[in-house]
Amino acid sequence: MSGVYPGATLMGTPELVNIPYDKYLKFTLKILGTLLFVAAVIIAVAPYIGIVR
């Protein structure tokens, strides 16, 4: 299941602490975007620093 798919747990947790889902989603997408960028950089640099062949 995707991390941003609105499942019951994902919808219920912010609701318990009174965080609107759109605000939670914007916050989560910023974090996921940053992690995706960092992962892409690591994958791109890995062959040059000898992590993978």
- Cα 36 to its chain centre, rounded Å, is 7
Query: What is the model's pLDDT at position 40?
Result: 96
CA distance 39 to 37: 5
Report if residue 39 sits inside a domain: yes
In a domain, 38, yes or no: yes
User: Which residues make Cβ contacts (< 8 Å) with residue 11, sequence separation at least 6?
Assistant: 21
In a domain, 15, yes or no: no
Give the residue from 34, 51, 3 showing the smallest Cα distance to 43: 51
Would you say how long the chain is, in residues? 53
What's the pLDDT tens digit per position in 1-53? 455 666 777 778 888 999 888 898 899 899 999 999 999 999 999 999 988 87
Report the number of distinct structural domains present in the chain: 1
> Structural domain of residue 32, as residue ranges?
21-53
pLDDT value of position 45? 95
The whole-number pLDDT of residue 1 equals 47
List Cβ neighbours of 51 (8 Å cut-off, separation of 6 or more): none
According to the model, what pLDDT value does residue 3 have?
A: 58
